[in-house]
């Protein structure tokens, strides 16, 4: 009988009732009396000198409150970057200014030039059309490799280069890696592109700025994954508002996928303008604006070399990657191709020598930052593609080659050559489970059935590992993070026993409101319905670093556990007093406090009531009340890992690929709510399949975004993905957090793209069409073109 | 969107009168026009909704056996009501967009817009349909005049489309991955006096007839009759989703598959 409550129960998500019945409260649902609307006039050229922004006629248009330009923000800070990477030579990265509204130059299509605040949005748009612009168009910097050649146009003239940093990791290993590759029995080389993606959360970004003249308090309602981080970045670095005068609220948020982590100019603008206009100011992005102003993801161009000895043991990996930063440094952009990517290049394998070189490049495109997986999908894709190619070149079974090189269960903790140390794992176990749930034994039969229809069937298998539960503050501080990455939780027990948990982990689809109470229910033995989760409001939650990097349960959940442990300690003292026993003898079971070895007990509610009505209470020992706060700073990352298998059918006449089967065997450590975990994996795989087969943001040579709408940016739909076989029964609990959990939010998006591409190449090669690689998205036209080239 | 006046006439005569106004724009299901208005890419003075004109809605069989479809009939209604009369046409309608699009979009709107990747133009051209307007009847061969261009005069309204019903027919669409419009779509219709093959999505000139395939299939309506035939890539569209050569190749593949589906 599966559990129906507590840890391990597949409880239905309580938040879905409001989400699915139209009762959610999203930022766009928030409307404040006397609210005005802002429309951003955005650049339609990728790169240009702003000679003139004349708002005189527009300012006289009906309904206009005020029009702002870059000049209005001259005295205000720019949008800050939260991570400083140090390059190969020990120099800090180049960090150009990022003004709220463009000053002097526009640097990408969508760069905001002016902001019109008016009584209605249509009036603001009308006035924006009346703004006179004189932009002297400059050559657009689009191609990363050309951008770092001398003579290229410069995105930022003042820094004198388009190279943000040239990073080497581990620099001390470089010579040894070069030597190992020179002496290898076999070297497999692969050049590949990790395609630029647009996150496309269902809810576009929205913000509402509000200001109280009476109290000088600012409030920003915004679609954010981490309102406290926005409060810090915007308050301290942009607008100069101290935390106690600035409240940031991120209410229901309709999906983030990383792109709602970052502090955006529109947030600073609405906060600033609310005071300047003495009116609430609201902005709701159109989908078109989202395409040209939400931070994009991925966009790496990589060459990877894998060296093997004569027995097919991996001996070294060397990579060179160009990573697109876009026109400005988004909040965490510099960390993605470096510390979230280079440190994962060992993958699931015992490769002893690794050297990763990353050149981060400014271009006249939308800033690029973390997107579901952030750096780890790029690492996984390179490793798992090059291993597959090596297996084909060597004529060995790709699963056997992987197994041969796996880190083995008795080798943990395993120190990789790329800084991180894996605490636990069992990659053979997840591979065994995968082979079972994917029914690999039945593949050949299915392949014959496909062949009978004139279709090529292919099987792609890969492994992945990720570093989640981000992150130990002292470590990331050394690596350049300008923030700590702990989490906080306050557990407030009310007099009648109900509990409110104020957590810094923001929920925007992850199901925290359901899963977090399951943990407390397990600890206290009380029903989940007695526990409420509050998040997303800096005036309610003490502190929070937010939700990204699959960290909520591992870090935020751990903080909650620590706070609940404090509650338990105090509650036991109260119970001991009520029963005239020693607190060391108190046991908690089924929501009651028992004196061990006796039939004496008091109910949870008796204890909580005593805490707030302390008539019979150990006032000399402890304070009344029952509320505790804990901060949790992890001592290591967590390392979820697994094995994925994809089966495709490929129509050799049209190049069309369909995904017929997909299986995922994951080790997430302990699982709190298996249904929610399965849902996270499902969604992640859908996004990974989208990246592999369909999605791709494309700029032309002039820096125009060719995929600026759903007419050209292909999103996966329900019919594009199969029913999945997912399993997370292979558990090696995390050794360093109290729940033994690892995180599951990004795994699907990290593990699935190589499985899909490997499957496509297996279909082609096993069908007699020799092709080494096709870049994502593996669209029908690309497959067809590759087939024509192979046949030629 | 910019401000405009909105009228919803109840009769064709009222609609024609409203369309005579300066910068009046007919509104069918609005599946192209409304997004254009929202993006401020169109700025008509008056929108004349055709959705309230009862005589323009419905599917019936004409005296000559044609399947006749009112210009304001939605794709969803065609999918259902033409299923027995002209199954290939009904199937085409059932594959346009998604349920929301099919419940709003109309055949008249689609043909008047003549999007080069729309499905309906291929059915009309392959069927040798007659496009009936408030002023005249236009043969499909004369009606389609290039991308987003038709024989319609300003203010002219597509009131009905008459499709001669073929002995056999099929439409095969290869979807553009993002928009799900036809990257290339081929409609093959076999009549007693010959076969017509119309291609959408592929050409910079909009929907066109593949005459070589028609000639071959008119002699022998079978896939093997197409052996050795290939469409020229000249004038085909090259974009993010496929080159001219790819589209030309798809024309051949889809024509063969349409013949197989129709047989």
Flag if A781 and B243 touch (Cβ within 8 Å).
yes
- Mean pLDDT, all residues of chain B: 97
Closest residue to B246, CB basis, from A712, A714, A781: A781
Q: What pLDDT is attached to residue B202? A: 98
Closest residue to B179, CB basis, from A698, A711, A781: A711
Flag if B179 and A710 touch (Cβ within 8 Å).
yes
Structure tokens at A357: 């070189």
Best of B40, B98, B240, B241 to substitute, by most chain A Cβ atoms within 10 angstroms, is: B240
Query: 3-class SS at A94?
Result: coil
Q: What pLDDT is attached to residue A127? A: 98
Cα-Cα-Cα-Cα torsion A239, A243, A244, A248, nearest 10 degrees, comes to 90
Partner A contacted by B253 (CB < 8 A): yes
Q: What pLDDT is attached to residue A35? A: 98
Closest residue to A781, CB basis, from B40, B242, B253: B242
Flag if B40 and A125 touch (Cβ within 8 Å).
yes
**Residue A311 buriedness (CB in 10 A; 0-12 / 13-18 / 19+):** exposed
- Provide the pLDDT confidence category of residue B229 given band limits of 50, 70 and 90: very high
Task: Out of B163, B181, B199, pick the residue that ends a domain.
Answer: B163
The answer to whether A319 and A396 have CB atoms below 8 angstroms apart is: no
Look at the pTM and tell me if it is higher than 0.90: yes
**Residue A500 buriedness (CB in 10 A; 0-12 / 13-18 / 19+):** middle
The answer to whether A27 and A206 have CB atoms below 8 angstroms apart is: yes
What DSSP character marks residue B134? Answer: S
Q: What pLDDT is attached to residue A203? A: 97
Best of A63, A651, A654, A705 to substitute, by most chain B Cβ atoms within 10 angstroms, is: A654
Q: Which residue has the tokens 């399965």?
A: A678
Q: Please give, rounded to a whole number of angstroms, the shortest distance from the CA of A695 to a CA of chain B.
A: 8
Closest residue to B246, CB basis, from A288, A714, A785: A785
State how beta strands B24-27 and B46-49 pair: parallel
Partner A contacted by B192 (CB < 8 A): no
Flag if B243 and A785 touch (Cβ within 8 Å).
yes
Q: Which residue of B has its CA nearest to A781?
A: B242
Residue B230 has pLDDT above 90, yes or no: yes
Report how far residue A633's alpha carbon sits from residue A734's, in angstroms, rounded to the nearest whole number.
15
Query: 3-class SS at A49?
Result: strand
What DSSP character marks residue A197? Answer: B
Q: Which of residues 19-58 of B touch A (CB under 8 A)?
A: 39-40
Planar angle of CA A199, A204, A207, nearest 5 degrees: 130
Closest residue to A714, CB basis, from B1, B177, B253: B177
Q: Is the same domain home to B26 and B65? A: yes
Closest residue to B246, CB basis, from A693, A714, A784: A784
Q: Which residue has the tokens 């790169």?
A: A47
Best of A63, A123, A781 to substitute, by most chain B Cβ atoms within 10 angstroms, is: A781
Q: What is the mean pLDDT of residues B138-158?
A: 97
The answer to whether B214 and B194 have CB atoms below 8 angstroms apart is: yes
Flag if B240 and A654 touch (Cβ within 8 Å).
no
pLDDT in tens, B14-45: 999 999 988 999 999 999 999 999 999 999 99
Q: Which helix (H) or strand (E) holds A182?
A: helix A174-182
What DSSP character marks residue A109? Answer: T
Partner B contacted by A598 (CB < 8 A): no
Q: Is the same domain home to B183 and B82? A: no
Flag if B174 and A780 touch (Cβ within 8 Å).
yes
Q: Is the same domain home to B81 and B182? A: no
Q: Which helix (H) or strand (E) holds B36?
A: helix B33-38
Q: Which residue of B has its CA nearest to A693?
A: B177
Report the CATH number of the A27-138+202-255+260-293 domain. Answer: 3.90.1170.50
Instruction: Please state the domain count of chain B.
Output: 2
What secondary structure does DSSP assign to A364-385, as a single string?
A: SS--B---TTTTHHHHHHHHHH
Spell out the long-range contacts of B85-91 with Cβ–Cβ below 8 A and sequence spacing 24 or more.
Answer: B85/B59, B85/B61, B85/B165, B86/B163, B86/B165, B86/B169, B87/B169, B88/B123, B88/B166, B88/B169, B88/B170, B88/B171, B88/B187, B88/B189, B88/B262, B89/B123, B89/B127, B89/B163, B89/B169, B89/B171, B91/B170, B91/B171
Q: Is the same domain home to B134 and B172? A: no
Q: Please give, rounded to a whole number of angstroms, the shortest distance from the CA of B202 to a CA of chain A.
A: 13
Q: Is the same domain home to B64 and B143? A: yes
Report how far residue A689's alpha carbon sits from residue A685's, in angstroms, rounded to the nearest whole number.
6
Consecutive 10-residue runs of chain A (792 residues): their mean pLDDT? Answer: 90 96 97 98 98 98 98 94 96 97 97 98 97 98 98 97 97 97 98 98 98 98 97 96 98 97 98 98 97 98 98 98 98 97 98 98 98 97 98 98 97 96 98 98 98 98 96 92 94 98 96 97 96 98 94 97 98 97 94 96 97 96 97 97 98 98 98 98 98 98 97 96 96 97 97 98 98 98 98 92
Q: Is the same domain home to B145 and B125? A: yes
Partner B contacted by A658 (CB < 8 A): no
Flag if A694 and B178 touch (Cβ within 8 Å).
yes
Q: Is the same domain home to B144 and B203? A: no
A vs B, Cβ pairs < 8 A, gives: 43
Report how far residue A4's alpha carbon sits from residue A8's, in angstroms, rounded to the nearest whole number.
8
What secondary structure does DSSP assign to A385-409, as a single string?
A: HHHHHHHHHHT--HHHHHHHHBPPG
Q: Is the same domain home to B26 and B135? A: yes
- CA A232, A236, A240, A244 torsion-angle sign: positive
**Domain of B151, in residue numbers:** 5-163
Q: What pLDDT is attached to residue A72? A: 97
- Taking CA atoms, A776 is separated from A298, A519, A530, B170, in Å, by 12, 40, 48, 33
Q: Is the same domain home to B97 and B200? A: no
Q: Is the same domain home to B132 and B232? A: no
Q: Please give, rounded to a whole number of angstroms, the shortest distance from the CA of B127 to a CA of chain A.
A: 26
Q: Please give, rounded to a whole number of angstroms, the shortest distance from the CA of A756 to a CA of chain B.
A: 17
Task: Out of B163, B187, B206, pick the residue that ends a domain.
Answer: B163
ipTM for the predicted complex comes to 0.96
- CA A589, A594, A599, A605 torsion-angle sign: negative
Instruction: Provide the CA B175 distance to its chain's centre, in angstroms.
Output: 16
Flag if B178 and A653 touch (Cβ within 8 Å).
no
> Which residues, at least 6 apart from B63, have a Cβ–Cβ distance to it below 8 Å?
none
Q: What pLDDT is attached to residue A641? A: 98
> Which residues, at least 6 apart from A544, have a Cβ–Cβ distance to it below 8 Å?
A226, A227, A228, A229, A487, A488, A503, A504, A505, A506, A535, A538, A556
In this structure, the number of other CB atoms found within 10 A of the CB of residue A91 comes to 10
Pick the CATH number of A300-470+636-791 from 3.40.640.10, 3.30.70.1140, 3.20.20.30, 3.30.365.10: 3.30.365.10
Q: What pLDDT is attached to residue A756? A: 98
> Which residues, at least 6 apart from B193, have a Cβ–Cβ distance to it below 8 Å?
none
- Residue A517's nearest CA partner among A1, A2, A14, A113 is A14
Best of A780, A785, A787 to substitute, by most chain B Cβ atoms within 10 angstroms, is: A780
Q: Which residue of B has its CA nearest to A708?
A: B178
Task: Out of B147, B163, B179, pick the residue that ends a domain.
Answer: B163
Q: What pLDDT is attached to residue A2? A: 79
Q: Please give, rounded to a whole number of angstroms, the shortest distance from the CA of B185 to a CA of chain A.
A: 13
Partner B contacted by A782 (CB < 8 A): no
Q: Is the same domain home to B144 and B71? A: yes
The answer to whether B66 and B164 have CB atoms below 8 angstroms apart is: yes
- Residue A512's nearest CA partner among A1, A16, A36 is A16
Cα-Cα-Cα-Cα torsion A57, A284, A263, A99, nearest 10 degrees, comes to -10
Flag if A779 and B179 touch (Cβ within 8 Å).
no
- Within B67-141, strands assigned E span 67-70, 130-133, 137-139
Q: What pLDDT is attached to residue A350? A: 98
Partner B contacted by A714 (CB < 8 A): yes
Structure tokens at B56: 């323009």
Report the CATH number of the A486-632 domain. Answer: 3.30.365.10
Residues of chain A contacting B118 with CB distance shorter than 8 Å: none
Q: Is the same domain home to B83 and B108? A: yes
Partner A contacted by B65 (CB < 8 A): no
Q: What pLDDT is attached to residue B21? A: 83
Partner A contacted by B223 (CB < 8 A): no
Residues of chain A contacting B177 with CB distance shorter than 8 Å: 693-694, 714, 777, 779-780
Q: Please give, rounded to a whole number of angstroms, the shortest distance from the CA of A122 to a CA of chain B.
A: 7
pLDDT in tens, A475-493: 999 999 998 999 999 999 9
Q: What is the CATH number of the domain that holds B152?
A: 3.30.465.10
Q: What are phi and psi of A328, to 5 degrees?
A: -135, 165
> Which residues, at least 6 apart from A666, have a Cβ–Cβ distance to it below 8 Å?
A430, A640, A641, A642, A681, A726, A727, A728, A730, A744, A747, A751
Q: Which residue of A has its CA nearest to B184?
A: A654
Q: What is the CATH number of the domain that holds B235?
A: 3.30.390.50
Partner B contacted by A710 (CB < 8 A): yes
What DSSP character marks residue A467? Answer: -
Q: What pLDDT is attached to residue A375? A: 97
Give CATH 3.30.365.10 domain extents, chain A: 300-470+636-791, 486-632
Name beta bridge partners: A252.
Answer: A26
Residue B85 has pLDDT above 80, yes or no: yes
Q: Please give, rounded to a whole number of angstroms, the shortest distance from the CA of B16 to a CA of chain A.
A: 31
């Amino acid at each position: 009988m599966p559990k129906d409550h507590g840890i391990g129960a597949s409880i239905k998500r309580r938040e879905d009732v409001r989400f699915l019945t139209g009762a959610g409260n999203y930022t766009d649902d928030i409307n404040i009396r006397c609210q005005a609307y802002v429309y951003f006039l955005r650049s339609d050229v990728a790169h240009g000198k702003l000679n003139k922004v004349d708002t005189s006629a527009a300012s006289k248009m009906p309904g206009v409150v005020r029009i702002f330009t870059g000049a209005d923000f001259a005295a205000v800070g720019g949008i800050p970057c939260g991570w400083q990477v140090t390059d190969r030579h020990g120099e800090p990265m180049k960090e150009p200014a990022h003004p709220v509204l463009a000053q002097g130059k526009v640097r990408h299509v969508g760069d905001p030039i002016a902001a019109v605040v008016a009584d209605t949005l249509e009036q603001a748009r009308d006035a924006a059309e009346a703004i006179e612009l004189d932009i002297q168009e400059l050559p657009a910097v689009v191609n990363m490799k050309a951008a770092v050649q001398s003579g290229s146009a410069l995105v930022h003239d003042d820094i004198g280069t388009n190279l943000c940093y040239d990073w080497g990791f581990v620099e001390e290993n470089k010579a040894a890696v070069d030597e190992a590759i020179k002496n290898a029995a076999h070297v497999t080389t692969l050049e590949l592109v990790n395609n630029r993606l647009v996150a496309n959360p269902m809810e576009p970004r929205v913000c509402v700025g509000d200001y109280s003249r009476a109290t000088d308090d600012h409030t920003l309602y915004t679609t954010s994954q981490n309102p406290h981080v926005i409060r810090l970045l915007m308050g301290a670095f942009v607008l100069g508002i101290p935390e106690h005068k600035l409240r940031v609220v991120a209410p229901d948020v309709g999906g983030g996928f990383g792109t709602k982590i970052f502090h955006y100019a529109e947030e600073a603008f609405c906060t600033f303008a609310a005071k300047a206009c003495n009116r609430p100011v609201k902005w709701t992005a159109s989908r078109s604006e989202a395409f040209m102003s939400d931070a994009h993801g991925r966009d790496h161009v990589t060459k990877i070399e894998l060296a093997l000895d004569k027995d097919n043991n991996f001996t070294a990996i060397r990579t060179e990657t160009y990573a697109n930063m876009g026109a400005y440094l988004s909040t965490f952009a510099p960390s993605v191709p470096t510390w979230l990517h280079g440190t994962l290049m060992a993958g699931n394998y015992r490769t002893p020598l690794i050297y990763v070189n990353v050149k981060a490049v400014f271009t006249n495109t939308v800033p690029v930052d973390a997107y579901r997986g952030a750096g780890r999908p790029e690492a996984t894709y390179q490793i798992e593609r090059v291993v597959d190619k090596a297996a084909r070149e060597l004529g060995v079974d790709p699963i056997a080659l992987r197994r041969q090189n796996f880190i083995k269960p008795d080798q943990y903790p395993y120190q990789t050559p790329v800084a991180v140390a894996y605490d636990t794992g069992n990659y053979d176990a997840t591979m065994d489970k995968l082979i079972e749930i994917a029914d690999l034994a039945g593949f050949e039969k299915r392949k014959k059935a496909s062949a009978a229809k004139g279709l090529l069937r292919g099987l792609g298998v890969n492994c992945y590992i990720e570093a989640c539960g981000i992150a130990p503050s002292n470590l990331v501080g050394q690596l350049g993070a300008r923030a700590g990455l702990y989490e906080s939780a306050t557990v407030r027990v009310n007099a009648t026993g109900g509990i409110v948990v104020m957590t810094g982990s923001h929920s925007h689809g992850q199901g925290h409101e359901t899963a977090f109470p399951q943990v407390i229910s397990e600890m206290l033995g009380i029903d989940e319905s007695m526990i409420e989760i509050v998040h997303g409001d800096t005036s309610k939650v003490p502190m929070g670093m937010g939700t990204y990097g699959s960290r909520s349960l591992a870090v935020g959940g751990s903080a909650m556990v620590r706070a609940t442990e404090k509650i338990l300690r105090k509650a036991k003292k109260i119970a001991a007093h009520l029963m005239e026993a020693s607190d060391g003898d108190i046991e908690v079971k089924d929501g009651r406090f028992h004196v061990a070895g006796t039939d004496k007990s008091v109910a949870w509610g008796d204890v909580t009531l005593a805490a707030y009505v302390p008539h019979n209470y150990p006032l000399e020992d402890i304070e009344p009340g029952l509320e505790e706060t804990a901060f949790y700073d992890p001592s290591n990352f967590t390392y979820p890992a697994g094995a994925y298998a994809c089966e495709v059918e490929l129509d050799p006449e049209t190049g069309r690929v369909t995904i017929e089967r997909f299986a995922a065997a994951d080790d997430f450590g302990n699982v709190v709510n298996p249904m929610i975990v399965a849902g996270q994996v499902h969604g992640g795989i859908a996004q990974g399949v989208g990246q592999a087969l369909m999605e791709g943001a494309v700029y032309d040579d002039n820096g125009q975004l060719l995929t600026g709408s759903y007419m050209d940016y292909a999103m996966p739909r329900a019919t594009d993905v199969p029913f999945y076989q997912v399993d997370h029964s292979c558990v090696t609990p995390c050794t360093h957090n109290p729940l033994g959990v690892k995180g599951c939010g990004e795994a699907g998006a990290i593990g699935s793209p190589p499985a899909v591409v490997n499957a496509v190449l297996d279909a082609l090669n096993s069908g007699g069409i020799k092709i080494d690689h096709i870049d994502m998205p593996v669209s029908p036209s690309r497959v067809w073109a590759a087939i024509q080239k192979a046949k030629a | 969107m910019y401000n405009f006046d909105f009228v919803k006439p109840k009769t064709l005569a009222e609609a024609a009168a409203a369309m005579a106004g300066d910068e009046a724009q007919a509104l069918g299901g609005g599946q192209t026009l409304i997004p254009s208005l929202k993006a401020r890419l169109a700025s008509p003075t008056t929108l004349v909704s055709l959705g309230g004109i009862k005589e323009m809605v419905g599917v019936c069989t004409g005296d000559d056996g044609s399947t006749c479809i009112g210009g304001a009939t939605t794709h969803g209604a065609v999918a259902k009501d033409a299923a027995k009369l002209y199954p290939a046409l009904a199937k085409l309608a059932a594959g346009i967009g998604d349920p929301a699009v099919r419940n709003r979009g109309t055949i008249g709107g689609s043909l008047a817009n003549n999007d080069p990747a729309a499905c309906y133009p291929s059915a009309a051209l392959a069927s040798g349909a007659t496009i009936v307007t408030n002023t005249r009847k236009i043969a499909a061969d004369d009606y389609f005049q290039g991308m987003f261009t038709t024989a319609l005069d300003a203010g002219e309204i597509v009131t009905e489309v008459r499709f001669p019903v073929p002995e056999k027919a099929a439409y095969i669409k290869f979807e553009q991955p993002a928009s799900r419009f036809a990257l290339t779509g081929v409609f093959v219709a076999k009549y007693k006096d010959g076969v017509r093959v119309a291609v959408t999505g592929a050409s910079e000139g909009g929907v066109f007839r593949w005459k070589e395939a028609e000639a071959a299939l008119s002699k022998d309506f079978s896939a093997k009759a197409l052996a050795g035939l290939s469409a020229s890539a000249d004038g085909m569209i090259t974009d993010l989703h496929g080159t001219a050569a790819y589209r030309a190749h798809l024309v051949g593949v889809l024509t063969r598959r349409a013949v197989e589906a129709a047989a």
